[in-house]
Amino acid sequence: MFFRSLGILQNCRMITMEEASYRLSEVKLGIDLNYIELQNFKFNELMVAIQSPFLLDEEDDKSVKEKRADILREHIK
């Protein structure tokens, strides 16, 4: 369960807020239970960064789901 969520977040191209928050929570649980080792995993900062109001940019044609996926892939390696 933890590793599946980690893989989804590392490879997603489009993701909804609901799924992203669910997957981030599973990864956080995996880290807390010492199943997953991630350096610099910032759960709270990522939860704020992937919310729609922070992703809206009228000059960018990318969808909110694509921007959210880009942020997650960039921060979870």
Which pTM value belongs to this model? 0.87
Contact by Cβ (8 Å): 17, 52: yes
Collect all residues with Cβ–Cβ distance below 8 Å to 12 and sequence separation of at least 6: 20, 69, 72, 73
The per-residue pLDDT for range 10-44, each reduced to its tens digit, is 999 999 999 999 999 999 999 999 999 988 889 99
Residue 27, SS3 per DSSP: helix
Q: Where are the domains of the chain?
A: 2-75
> For residues 67 and 14, what is the distance between their CA atoms, to the nearest angstrom?
8
Contact predicate 36/30, CB 8 Å: yes
The one-letter code for the residue type at 59 is E
